[in-house]
Amino acid sequence: MPIPKISAVGACVPPGILSNKDLEGMVETSDQWIVERTGIRQRHIAEKGVASSDLATEAVKELIAKSEIKATDIDLIIVATITPDMQLPATACLVQNNVGATKAWGFDMSIACSGFLYALQVGAQFVRTGAHQNVVVIGVDVMSSIIDYTDRQTCIIFGDGGGAALIQPCAAGEEFGVIDFVHEVDGSGGVSLCLPAGGSRNPTTHETIDKRMHYVHQDGPAVFKFATRKMAEMCTRVLERNGLTGKDVDLFIPHQANLRIITSAMERLGMTMDRVVVNIDEYGNTTAGTIPLAMHSALEKGMLKKGDLVLLASMGAGFSAGATLLRWAY
């Protein structure tokens, strides 16, 4: 069975920037507090009318330009997002049409911050079985469309953006690509990070809007506690069962939710700062977008080379968590 590998990455963030200084004028906060407690200095925010499919389309166009495939070679498009353009059709259909992927099918996945990793594994299975040769996996979110900019606990964290990865089979004898993964959900944590209205439980009404139930509600400390414990735990599990430790990892690409969550995981895994990708200062937490955006940053900075052992990790709403181990293929 062919090993699925990532063979190209594209990304897109909107040009608009919301700085910590800007937020000081919107809620009771300070640049110093945000930097110290989260590591975030700014986030990119989409203009009114710009949706997840727009960012995803740009990311896929870049990916195609950087690969040897044409849009018409794409077999499958999976979009991980909690901010689809609309409830239906699926954002994957909009992207398929925008890029001219006339032979592709596709669908969306909703598992918040773990979205990209879960979509990566789903896409990888289609390649591993030989069913598909070119799978495009996208993680993207326009979080500004569901954030309450009067809630200082959530609005300081999130930003807009995303990225896309092309998954292809390794050639015979090629030893790169996905090695292993661990995924886990714990639905008992659902209430700690949720968007209460707009679904079948609480369809949108004037009342749900008056109660601001159409925005993300977060119990920050509860999510923080889960994330710090789980990031290290999931990484250790996937490393140990492959006879590896944190010291063997060439590059750690974690979900960017809070710099303190990342540094805590690194300390527990015995990793040093030069082997982790951090771009939270520039982009904030783009939910499903963080890992492909971080991969893109790593490639731009020359931090990734063929054969590197790469560890990806995510955790967030659900609660959901995951870690993927792979050997970089280009």
Determine, following the binding rule CB under 6 A, whether residue 220 of this chain makes contact with ligand UT7. yes
Determine, following the binding rule CB under 6 A, whether residue 110 of this chain makes contact with ligand UT7. no
- The one catalytic residue among 113, 170, 194, 235: 113
Determine, following the binding rule CB under 6 A, whether residue 217 of this chain makes contact with ligand UT7. no
# of chain residues touching ligand UT7 (CB under 6 A):
19
CB of 227 or CB of 276, closer to ligand UT7: 227
Burial 172-194 (b: 16+ CB within 10 A, else e): eeeebbbbebbbbbeeebeebbb
**Min separation Cβ 108 and ligand UT7, Å:** 19
What are the DSSP E strand ranges found in the chain? 4-12, 17-19, 42-44, 76-80, 105-109, 135-142, 160-169, 177-185, 193-194, 217-218, 251-254, 309-316, 320-327
Instruction: Show contacts with ligand UT7 in window 141-160 (CB under 6 A).
Output: 152-153, 156-157
**Min separation Cβ 139 and ligand UT7, Å:** 12
Q: Active-site residue 296, yes or no?
A: no
Q: Active-site residue 113, yes or no?
A: yes
Which residues have a Cβ under 8 Å from the Cβ of 205 and sit 6 or more positions away? 197
CA 79 – CA 253 distance, rounded (Å): 20
Residue nearest to ligand UT7 (CB): 220
**Per-residue x/- mask for ligand UT7, residues 44 to 83, rule CB under 6 A?**
----------------------------------------
Main-chain dihedrals φ then ψ at residue 210, nearest 5 degrees: -60, -35
Residue with tokens 């398929």: 96
| Cα–Cα nearest to 214, from 195, 230, 227 | 195
Determine, following the binding rule CB under 6 A, whether residue 278 of this chain makes contact with ligand UT7. no
Question: Could you give the residue numbers annotated as active site?
Answer: 113, 255, 285
Q: Which residues bind ligand UT7 (CB under 6 A)?
A: 29, 33, 37-38, 113, 152-153, 156-157, 193, 220-221, 223-224, 227, 257-258, 285, 316
